[in-house]
Amino acid sequence: MVLFHISKKNILYNLWIDTCVDIKNTACLFDLEVNFKKDLKNPDAKEYLRKLQIELLAMYDQAYELDKVKHQASFVARLKQYIDLFPNDPISAKSRKRLFGVYFSVKNYKEALPLIEEVYKAEPNAENAQKLLLSLFELGEYDKILADNVYTKYDNSEILDIKREASLKSAMQNADKGNFDKYENDIKIYLSTNPSEEKSKVIYVDYFKKLLELQFYEKFKVEWEKLTSGFKVKPEFNGVKGLFFDKTLNDGNFLKMESLWSYGSDKGLNEKIFINKFNMPIKRI
């Protein structure tokens, strides 16, 4: 008799839920939800609640799509409630993705990040990695992007773009802070991502000027000599050459740069000269 009673009760609850859904009677669904929540220790009641909340999620999702501003808060609350009550349920995995999308769409990256981290942990793939790194980027967490090897796992141009832009942003920040070592590391990461020639020239010019201003002449020489001869003659580097010319003479370091300066004589002028190998004008001494 007990088994029959429980079976009959199950049928009635299922019919009740289905009827409320069919006629779209939210008040009816809310009443059922309250009753089921009072009896969560009962496995049957919790399963009814799960089924009921799936139906409510679908209704709230539909309302959200019709008016995202009006229904965002209630939809977010529904998603969170389902995840909290049924964290290991397959629908919760989908709900985390949906909640991440809602937060990301309104630029609430602080709330979006932990969600996409959970999603990526469960489903480590290029799509989720891109979303995770993009969230970090929007939060200005450039160091975490550059320190994490997640982007090396995937042949993905979008992930490479994030890495490239993060290294550039980080380089700018470290330059402003006067942290040359980190700036230099960021620059090298940026150049390793194969940026366009135009952007590469801008970065190299900035890097070489900083080396010269800091009087890192030996490092400047090493890095300069890594460039191809065709790249070095680009007009964008004229400012670097001029700065090198002035700095090495004013600092008295030109004699230490034999690979970049040549000491000889000018027969026509009958005097000794230094000629820099940047093909800049000669300097008489």
Q: Quick one: which of 142, 119, 122, 143 has its CA closest to 132?
A: 119
Q: What confidence tens digit (pLDDT) does each residue in 149-199 have?
A: 776 678 889 999 999 999 999 999 999 999 999 999 999 999 999 999 999
- Reading the block at residue 138, the tokens are 């929007």
Going by the DSSP 8-state scheme, the letter that residue 255 receives in this structure is G
Is the CB of residue 273 less than 8 Å from the CB of residue 261? no
On the 0-12 / 13-18 / 19+ scale of CB atoms within 10 A, 275 is: middle
pLDDT at 50: 87
Percent of the chain with pLDDT over 70: 76
Q: What are the residue ranges in the chain where pLDDT is below 50?
A: 1-6, 270-273, 280-285
Q: Quick one: which of 137, 132, 94, 126 has its CA closest to 113?
A: 132
pLDDT at 264: 56
Instruction: Report the C-alpha gap between 181 and 187 in whole angstroms.
Output: 10
pLDDT at 18: 64
Is the CB of residue 80 less than 8 Å from the CB of residue 60? no
Q: What are phi and psi of 129, to 5 degrees?
A: -60, -40
Contacts 24+ apart (CB under 8 A), 277-280: 278/241, 278/244, 278/245, 280/241, 280/242, 280/245
Instruction: Report the C-alpha gap between 249 and 278 in whole angstroms.
Output: 14
- CA distances to 98, 120, 179, 207, 210 from 175, rounded to whole Å, are 39, 33, 6, 10, 9
Q: What confidence tens digit (pLDDT) does each residue in 44-55 have?
A: 778 878 888 888
Q: What is the DSSP string of 103-153?
A: HHHTT-HHHHHHHHHHHHHHS-SHHHHHHHHHHHHHTT-HHHHHH-GGGGG
pLDDT at 199: 94
pLDDT at 178: 93
pLDDT at 191: 94
